[in-house]
Amino acid sequence: MPEVHFDVRWPDGARCTYYSPSTAVHQHLRAGERYSVAEFLLKARSALHQASERVRAKYGYTCSSAMSTLSQIEETAQAYAANDRAEVTVVAMHG
């Protein structure tokens, strides 16, 4: 199953690279796009759940790595929850 790594810049300038076990993430996020933190979180949740379900369909079990990635994103997003104007940029997508 083709995997995707996506580089994100958080509102404070911190950069992180995240993992998706499937190209499904391309249906939800675009390189170069900026999203409010809330919108990014919704899109990331949808993308990673869809990716995990693709793994389930192929192998019979969900992808714990996708859920771990989602957990990391949710934890980081909490720091910006109070700032409505905070934006996340998807810098690049590989794969």
- What's the CA gap between 1 and 41, in Å, rounded? 24
| pLDDT tens readout for residues 28-80 | 999 999 999 999 999 999 999 999 999 999 999 888 999 999 999 999 999 99
pLDDT of 1 higher than 70: no
Q: How far is CA 54 from CA 7, 15, 18, 20, in A?
A: 22, 27, 18, 11
Task: Write out the residue range of the structural domain in which residue 73 sits.
Answer: 4-94
Count of the separate structural domains present in the chain: 1
Distance from C-alpha of 55 to C-alpha of 47, rounded to nearest angstrom: 13
